[in-house]
Amino acid sequence: MTAIRRTKILATLGPATQSPAVLDAMFEAGMNVVRLNFSHGDPSAHIGLANLVRERAKVCNKPVGILADLQGPKIRIARFKDGKVNLTEGDYFTLDANLDTNAGDQQQVGIDYKALPEDVAAGDTLLLDDGRIVLMVDKVEGSRITTQVVFGGELSNNKGINRQGGGLSAAALTDKDKQDIITAAKMEADYLAVSFPRSADDIHEARRLLQEAGGHAAIVAKIERAEAVDAIEEIITAADAIMVARGDLGVEMGDAALPPIQKRIISMARRMNRITITATQMMESMIQNPIPTRAEVFDVANAVLDGTDAVMLSGETAVGKNPIKTIAAVHRICLQAEQEREIRVSRHRIDSHFELMDEAIAMGAMYLANHLNVKAIAALTESGATTLWMSRISSGIPIFAMTPHTHTARRVTLYRGVYPIPFPRPHDDHATLNRAMIDELERRGVVNKGDIVIITKGDLEVAGSTNALKLVQVGSMIEPQLNKLSCE
């Protein structure tokens, strides 16, 4: 069987990737989930693009998930009369919450985030444009923040503002975000990403608003504030998935702090059975160039070795010249990194006591898979929960989520090592159902005669709960030496 990539590729759509032909090529290259960036476009455009994605996914026979990414608070400067200025070290420069939006000049500029003067004090360090411009706060008078330039350079319209060490009070969910949550529910998004959460309360509020709008997406917490790192355990508990969003996080925490933070967050999230996404500048040079830098190759590979479920591409696929080549490059790097033995073995929860029967079945299946010559795991699943638990165990064995539900097939597209198979439950008895599942894997070329497969599923009268595990050998559904290991 051809090697199957376990790490998923999440790609942002934009002007470079909205045509049917390009979407088809992205699916073929290995894209698993698409990201719709709600910082740009209007609701009707987002819904139209989601419909196009699902239409092309159906044509290509590729289950695909959709992640709707909320903009979050606009903590940005306003605009300059001439589009940009050049700041010189030692100069004084003012940020004025009351200045006209388009009146910026060499001495001052307006700010979109009107509460900034209340959040900063003399001696604070402000970082603009992802830290390229560094300003030291000299004094705050009413709406005006007078700063001295520490590191200068070109500053153009609408660049972001961060306070070193965090501490800005902007709410995670703006009025625009609350309207966009309604749009995400209408498009039946599979994932909803919350930008700049500070605590679990932000995640709970997003989930409540989504449910009130009729949505059922999993909630992704984007870790991009210093405060979020301090509250990481409670945020992971509240969310379904965690995104290590290294742009703003790196500015607030400092670049050198990012690698250990990334490793710690991914490790903690996996222990807590949450999905993880690594994002920001993964293949940045490929926006312009046809091949990645060696540093980018190492970055993607290290994220895989850390155990991330998915690698996210932003500008590389939204506006880049080489979206297909970028996806193909990430695919190759992930496949190679996944060959390392250290990420194919696991002690995850080896000493734990399990409270749920289906979680115990999931862990038992992975223990058997990693200690026998098992070719594949076939999990008949309603919600996908069993396959999520399985995917927290490091292994090189593919897990196939066989489900009759479209929303479940879309949801598992982000789970590391899990592959959705639309599978209507066609039979009532276990033996016939087992054979149908194996026949489907054979039809897809996943297994061959003689291969050992683990099947997990629920009793027919207990919908939504996995309580059965069976080892079978392809071509011989009754195998004497394996029958004694059946838990069915």
Output the pLDDT for position 487.
38
- Residue 435 catalytic? no
In whole angstroms, give the CA distance from residue 429 to residue 347. Answer: 35
Q: What interhelical angle do 175-186 and 200-212 show, nearest 10?
A: 50
Output the pLDDT for position 485.
40
Output the pLDDT for position 459.
66
User: In the structure, what pLDDT confidence band is assigned to residue 430 with cuts at 50, 70 and 90?
Assistant: confident
Q: In 81-231, where does DSSP find H-type helix?
A: 116-119, 175-186, 200-212, 226-230
Output the pLDDT for position 354.
55
The catalytic residue among 6, 35, 325, 470 is 35
The catalytic residue among 17, 183, 278, 280 is 280
Structure tokens given for 142:
């009413």
Model confidence over 44-58: pLDDT tens digits?
Answer: 999 999 999 999 999
Average pLDDT, the chain: 91
The catalytic residue among 5, 8, 163, 222 is 222
Of 357-361, 389-393, 412-416, the range with the highest mean pLDDT is: 412-416
Phi first, then psi: what are they for 36, rounded to 5°? -105, 115
Percent over 70 (pLDDT), the chain: 92
- Residue 163 catalytic? no
- Residue 293 catalytic? no
Output the pLDDT for position 464.
56
User: Which one-letter amino acid corresponds to residue 66?
Assistant: I
Looking at the predicted structure, is the pLDDT value of residue 90 above 70? yes
Average pLDDT over residues 337-364: 67
Burial of 27 (0-12, 13-18, 19+ CB in 10 A): buried
User: In the structure, what pLDDT confidence band is assigned to residue 483 with cuts at 50, 70 and 90?
Assistant: very low
Phi first, then psi: what are they for 247, rounded to 5°? -70, -75
- Return the closest-CA partner of residue 120 out of 107, 132, 137, 134: 137
Model confidence over 263-312: pLDDT tens digits?
Answer: 999 999 999 999 999 999 999 999 999 999 999 999 999 999 999 999 99
Domains observed in the chain: 8-72+171-339 (3.20.20.60), 84-163 (2.40.33.10), 357-474 (3.40.1380.20)
Model confidence over 170-197: pLDDT tens digits?
Answer: 999 999 999 999 999 999 999 999 999 9
Residues 6+ apart with CB under 8 A from 323: 11, 16, 17, 22, 26, 313, 316, 317
User: In the structure, what pLDDT confidence band is assigned to residue 394 with cuts at 50, 70 and 90?
Assistant: confident
Its pTM surpasses 0.75: yes
Q: Which string of DSSP letters, residue by residue, matches 222-255?
A: EE-SHHHHHTHHHHHHH-SEEEEEHHHHHHHH-G
Cβ 123 vs Cβ 134: under 8 Å: no
Q: How many Å is the Cα radius of gyration of the chain? A: 24
- Residue 381 catalytic? no
User: In the structure, what pLDDT confidence band is assigned to residue 358 with cuts at 50, 70 and 90?
Assistant: confident
Looking at the predicted structure, is the pLDDT value of residue 64 above 50? yes
Looking at the predicted structure, is the pLDDT value of residue 478 above 50? no
Output the pLDDT for position 55.
97
